[in-house]
Structure 1
Amino acid sequence: MTLADVPDVSDVRDPELPGRLLRTERDLLIPLLRARPEADFALRTACPGWTVRHVLAHCGAVLTRVVERRLEKGVFEPEANDRDIAERDGLPVERIVDELERGMTEAGPVIARAGGVLDAVALGEWVHAGDVREAFGEPGAYGGEGLSYALALLARVTRERGHVPLHADLDGLDEPLRLGRPSGTRPPARYIGDAPTLVRLYAGRPLVGTRYELAGTAEAELNVFGN
């Protein structure tokens, strides 16, 4: 992987990037979901209290709200997430997957027109796809074909949210990936390791079995989703 493989790491927003990430993940995740037995959707994930079914119901609900432009205040709060999941409790798994597929297909243009405020939604959906893969025991959790898009989106989201500046020396990347907002008073923190582990750090996912170096900041300071 070279820096050229990670698009849109400049200060200029690429409005199509979230949609590309969602569609890339759709083409990989949906066939995987349709091939799994129903019992697998009861497996626990890295999200406390959530099974695979819960994660997918949450993801589909969020994207449906984006597509239908139902984005009232508090729509992404934990209480709203719980309500969305409860509303889908009686639906067959096929309906849950259908809603997710529709959302991953149609949300991109809406996110593109939103000016950046919804970009993190696409990143969160991609991370949740990693949660599902990990619960299934599938390879490539928090990696795979969408990784370069996800890293570019992570760089932009952390910069816009004013996160601690960090230079990530990623395995296979020729130059450091710069995340967070540059500061005139604080030197950039440094990460050395692989890209999926970097995603785990920023997403607050379990780090058991990983190997990396982090200097100049604490793990908790990197969590971009705050949960």
Structure 2
Amino acid sequence: MTYADTTHDVRDPELPGRLLATERDALIPLLRSRPEEDFALATLACPGWTVRDVLAHCSAALTRVVEGRFEKGVFSPEANDRDIAERADWTNARVLDELERGMTEAGAAIARSGGPLDAVAFGEWVHAGDVRDVLGAPGAYGGEGLGFALTLLARLTRHKRRQPLHADLDDLDDPLRLGDASGELTPARYIGDAPTLVRLYSGRPVPDGVAYELAGAKAEDLNIYG
């Protein structure tokens, strides 16, 4: 797995694009191989949305990034629902075509943004995990892009000044440090695997039987979307 660099706060402008491209190369062939009925499956992480809805939302968001269309409320729940509705008569193949283009082209636009759009790349990767989770495919909230995603997550939580957290991950040799880096707050402590940590930070359900330890914080405190 790619090493997660959380030792400093210098932004790598190419990192979001690498995350998107890595996930594209794994996700798009998987989706093109699935039967049509899989796209109608309900998602666990996004109540009321099907797999197709999640993909349509993701492709629309990336297209907006590529085209620089950021009108007021662009990523609100209402705007997300409109984007999905606008693609209601598209074939699944057309949605995947738009998603593939977005995952290919959005990295350059995110790099030029100076940082504000980095969260879009992380969110797209999380949604890819939502889809993999429903389909029972390997790599949900993990896979080849995990190291890139953890680096982005560490930066996002620092900039949001979230509660500091020291994570000892089964998937990494070195500890991961997230949240506020001022040293003014006592960090929480997490022991477990990285995909579960991603689930906690993104407000996704943790499967029954998955063991982890969290001290100094509640699971719901970590959710960056809550």
Same fold (TM over 0.5): yes
Q: State the partner residue of 2:88.
A: 89
State the shift of 1:218 in Å: 1.3
Distance 1:82 1:11 in 2: 35
Moved more, 130-139 or 4-13: 4-13
**3-state DSSP class of the match of 2:151?**
helix
Q: What's the C-alpha RMSD, in Å, of the aligned pairs? A: 1.2
State the shift of 1:113 in Å: 0.7
**3-state DSSP class of the match of 2:177?**
strand
Contact 2:171/2:194 (<8 A) preserved:
no
1:73 aligns with 2:90: no
Identity in percent: 71
* 1:13 aligned to which of 4, 11, 14: 11
Q: Which runs of 5+ in 1 are unaligned?
A: none
For 1:102-127, what per-residue CA distance to the aligned partner results, in whole angstroms no more than 9, with x for missing partners?
00000001000101100010000001
Distance 2:216 2:6 in 1: 25
**Where does 1:95-174 land on structure 2 (aligned, <5 Å)?**
95-174=94-173
Distance 2:8 2:221 in 1: 23
Distance 1:128 1:156 in 2: 19
Q: Which runs of 5+ in 2 are unaligned?
A: none
Moved more, 69-78 or 5-14: 5-14
State the shift of 1:225 in Å: 2.1
Q: State the partner residue of 1:212.
A: 212
For 1:118-174, what per-residue CA distance to the aligned partner results, in whole angstroms no more than 9, with x for missing partners?
001000000111111111111221111000101111101111111110011000322
Distance 1:8 1:115 in 2: 18
Distance 1:162 1:116 in 2: 16
Distance 1:118 1:154 in 2: 13
State the shift of 1:58 in Å: 0.2
Distance 2:6 2:109 in 1: 19
Contact 1:9/1:155 (<8 A) preserved:
no
**3-state DSSP class of the match of 1:178?**
strand
1:176 aligns with 2:167: no
**3-state DSSP class of the match of 1:150?**
helix
Moved more, 93-102 or 170-179: 170-179
TM-score by length of 2: 0.96
Moved more, 181-190 or 64-73: 181-190
Distance 1:105 1:173 in 2: 28
Distance 1:99 1:164 in 2: 37
Distance 1:50 1:123 in 2: 19
Q: What number of residue pairs does the alignment pair up? A: 224
TM-score by length of 1: 0.95
